[in-house]
Structure 1
Amino acid sequence: MTRYWKVEEAKANFSRLLRAAEKEPQVITRHGKPVATVIPGAQEAPKPPRSVWELLRGDFTFTPPEGEDWDSDWLERDRTPLAEPLDLGDGENTEPRA
Structure 2
Amino acid sequence: MQTWQMQDAKARMSEVVRGAQNEPQEITVHGKSVAVVISRASFDRLSQMQGSLLDFMRRSPLYGADDIEFERDRSPTREVPL
| TM-score for both structures, normalised by structure 2 | 0.57
| Partner residue in 2 for 1:74 | 70
| Partner residue in 2 for 1:23 | 22
- The code of the aligned residue for 2:9 comes to A
Identity of aligned residues (%): 36
Trace 1:1-98 onto structure 2 (pairs within 5 A): 2-44=1-43, 45-46=46-47, 57=53, 72-74=68-70
| Partner residue in 1 for 2:79 | none
SS at match of 2:17: helix
1:75 to 1:4, Cα distance in 2 relative to 1, 3 A: farther
| Higher helix proportion | 2
Deviating beyond 6 angstroms after TM superposition, the runs of 4 or more aligned structure 1 residues are none
| TM-score for both structures, normalised by structure 1 | 0.48
Give unmatched runs, 5+ long, in structure 1. Answer: 48-53, 62-70, 77-98
The answer to which structure, 1 or 2, has the higher relative contact order (CA under 8 A, 6+ apart) is: 2
Q: Which has the larger radius of gyration?
A: 1
